[in-house]
Structure 1
């Protein structure tokens, strides 16, 4: 059993945020004998890489979420709390929560993640739909359903969709929406003409999936076009209106629903914590991922701003969370904290049924059906809970291998 040198008892670690980083830090700490309190504003953790499937009615909200109390129950020394962080008192080693309570800590781990970045684009916040949380996905899902019902009933003329941002989320969202438009709508909404719907993907670069090699970018773009996605590459956004997306050259793209997949930034409330911030509002940390002036405070995941920037992906968050847990246990044993070193396993994204791109750290690339099967296997493996894994597998089978009408499941 690890012990805090000052008191001779196991250290109490407060982990704020139940994302990839927070869960992995909690697991590492609890396995090492530390007392852990996992705090999150929601009573569940979300598997964000599959939120676009929830938004397009391929999965239910429960398929991509898992109760934090069920996770904490796996470890005798871990507890979960539903609350949001409001203030940090480093000198007193205490945090205040929005339910009016406080928690004392020996070590603090901040893994609250980031939020949608609107980049100051006029109208973006008011007229766009982000997909960063379960709530976002449900709101977008209902909006899409409402549009289709209104077009089918003759109450409106079109259901054109514009996706802003051609990173992995934007590409996956556009590809899935285009597949539904071509394969499912003709069966489930025969009243709607193909001319009344469209999917457009807008990207400021001249290519999609910027972190990938040109071969994979071209393969993804070709697959999107094959599915009917209109690509507007090399296009800079000027503003978003209620019924259109306006480009910097004055072009107006009709849009009945604008999906925002452009980027993320630290939430505004992070500035009130009194900790140093860097690019994108992220908290500045040392190579070991702790705050220089307060070495007992660690930051992991998207909220962390280490000296060497890392991609805003699941794998860096997972590895950072585990590293933070290991370093806290080391400090509790009187050993110094070691710097974090990221082991890049590669990146992948899917375009739709039978098509994905995979790029490994050793330079190996792959696209098509093998990459798509690997994408499914990896995502199912990382889901929490056996029920979720089975449910997602069945849902994927129905959406991609079942009759076309099976991909149209919508739950109010």
Structure 2
């Protein structure tokens, strides 16, 4: 076994996962001069909130990803490893990797995130597609393209898309698909009529966007219906078949492409780490986001399960990551770690061109063009790399504000 030692001077921190929380923790630690090894199975970090844009060909995979080594190069004390964690020997402060090597640590930060939860629904994992990674988004994009080509050449009669889940991801996906159906497909596939295509959103609650206030939920639902989305609210999925989604009441919704935007859970591999797990497989931690029995191990982001867990969104992950970084610096200096307190800045979701909903922590709500422009500005600001920001902003402007014929370049 190859050994990586980093105990020559000062504490060595291993951060597992290059998502929002992992990068925030790494950034905080590096600025304090700590030595960090950042580990991820991919050589890049992904901006997950825009993956649905990749799936619908509004953005390219490179627009929402950024090289992990390019991020690390900004900080003198940060090194990276491309690997997956296969085990954690907490008593020895050792992380086992899938390439047969390992890394020792003084402090360990686990931010590897969660994965799709199929909720034990028959056929869901086999017949539905998630949108949780770049690979997922590209796979969905290719399937949509193939189904449209098959319909255009007469190999199939229609292209019906069913999106399961009425949270932000499901709403954004359904709204974008509906606009492509009316704005883009008539240009790129003139052989198809509107009757041959459809977009349906299935949600178990009687409304979409459950964390939002009722007036914003209703506004989002109206905006989706205006764009031609069929809403099946208060409906539970019982089975996903290769060509249909079957509801609990026996209704069979034809589906040539089923998009799964419902629920997340910890990867099965986390159970092999020997750490305490709670609801949804999250690792149980204290209010300070470290383990009770191993205070040198911290968990942040979607994988963390503190007593009062914040929502599994980008903003909580960023704040948790930064908090963990600060607490490790404090612990290394012999100071007491502090509990994590989430500062809720608000939530937002886009429904489509010129339409979004925004709910601030103080109770103020916005919808329409103002909220949509705020949504674009915030997402562009959080992207890593100037090229990515410019590419995404240009793509948004061209796709949504440019001439109608420019939309023809979207489906590719």
Q: Same fold (TM over 0.5)?
A: yes
Once the two structures are TM-superposed, the CA of residue 410 in structure 1 deviates from its matched residue by 5.6
2:259 matched residue in structure 1: 259
1:177 matched residue in structure 2: 177
Q: Give the aligned length.
A: 406
2:88 matched residue in structure 1: 88
Tell me, in whole angstroms, the C-alpha distance in 1 between the residues paired with 2:411 and 2:367. 32
TM-score scaled by structure 1? 0.97
1:192 matched residue in structure 2: 192
1:214 matched residue in structure 2: 214
Tell me, in whole angstroms, the C-alpha distance in 2 between the residues paired with 1:309 and 1:106. 26
Once the two structures are TM-superposed, the CA of residue 407 in structure 1 deviates from its matched residue by 2.6
Once the two structures are TM-superposed, the CA of residue 9 in structure 1 deviates from its matched residue by 2.7
Work out whether residues 349 and 358 of structure 2, in 8 Å CA contact, stay in contact via their aligned partners in 1.
yes
Tell me, in whole angstroms, the C-alpha distance in 2 between the residues paired with 1:269 and 1:80. 21
**Bigger mean CA offset, 185-194 vs 61-70:** 185-194
Residue by residue over 1:45-84, the C-alpha shift from the partner in whole angstroms, topping out at 9 and shown as x without a partner, is 0000000000000000000000010001100000111000
Residue by residue over 1:326-365, the C-alpha shift from the partner in whole angstroms, topping out at 9 and shown as x without a partner, is 0000000000110000000000000000000000000000
1:141 matched residue in structure 2: 141
Tell me, in whole angstroms, the C-alpha distance in 2 between the residues paired with 1:11 and 1:216. 48
Tell me, in whole angstroms, the C-alpha distance in 2 between the residues paired with 1:130 and 1:391. 25
Once the two structures are TM-superposed, the CA of residue 403 in structure 1 deviates from its matched residue by 2.6
Tell me, in whole angstroms, the C-alpha distance in 1 between the residues paired with 2:10 and 2:218. 53
Once the two structures are TM-superposed, the CA of residue 8 in structure 1 deviates from its matched residue by 8.6
Work out whether residues 30 and 78 of structure 2, in 8 Å CA contact, stay in contact via their aligned partners in 1.
yes
TM-score scaled by structure 2? 0.97
Tell me, in whole angstroms, the C-alpha distance in 2 between the residues paired with 1:57 and 1:287. 41
1:293 matched residue in structure 2: 293
The alignment partner of 1:39 has SS state of: strand
Distance 1:205-1:411 versus aligned 2 partners, 3 A rule:
closer
Tell me, in whole angstroms, the C-alpha distance in 1 between the residues paired with 2:121 and 2:365. 35
Once the two structures are TM-superposed, the CA of residue 398 in structure 1 deviates from its matched residue by 1.2
1:309 matched residue in structure 2: 309
2:374 matched residue in structure 1: 374
Once the two structures are TM-superposed, the CA of residue 404 in structure 1 deviates from its matched residue by 2.7
Tell me, in whole angstroms, the C-alpha distance in 2 between the residues paired with 1:205 and 1:224. 16
CA-based RMSD of the aligned residues comes to 1.0
Please state if 1:22 is matched with 2:29. Answer: no
Tell me, in whole angstroms, the C-alpha distance in 1 between the residues paired with 2:259 and 2:399. 22
Give the gaps of 5 or more residues in structure 2.
1-6
The alignment partner of 2:140 has SS state of: helix
Once the two structures are TM-superposed, the CA of residue 182 in structure 1 deviates from its matched residue by 0.6
Map 1:1-400 onto structure 2 (within 5 A): 9-400=9-400
Once the two structures are TM-superposed, the CA of residue 185 in structure 1 deviates from its matched residue by 1.1
The alignment partner of 1:323 has SS state of: helix
Residue by residue over 1:235-261, the C-alpha shift from the partner in whole angstroms, topping out at 9 and shown as x without a partner, is 011000000000000000000000000
**Bigger mean CA offset, 183-192 vs 338-347:** 183-192
Once the two structures are TM-superposed, the CA of residue 187 in structure 1 deviates from its matched residue by 1.3
Once the two structures are TM-superposed, the CA of residue 378 in structure 1 deviates from its matched residue by 0.2
**Bigger mean CA offset, 82-91 vs 165-174:** 82-91
Once the two structures are TM-superposed, the CA of residue 188 in structure 1 deviates from its matched residue by 1.3
Tell me, in whole angstroms, the C-alpha distance in 1 between the residues paired with 2:405 and 2:103. 51
Tell me, in whole angstroms, the C-alpha distance in 2 between the residues paired with 1:185 and 1:278. 45
Distance 1:56-1:411 versus aligned 2 partners, 3 A rule:
closer
Distance 1:256-1:8 versus aligned 2 partners, 3 A rule:
closer
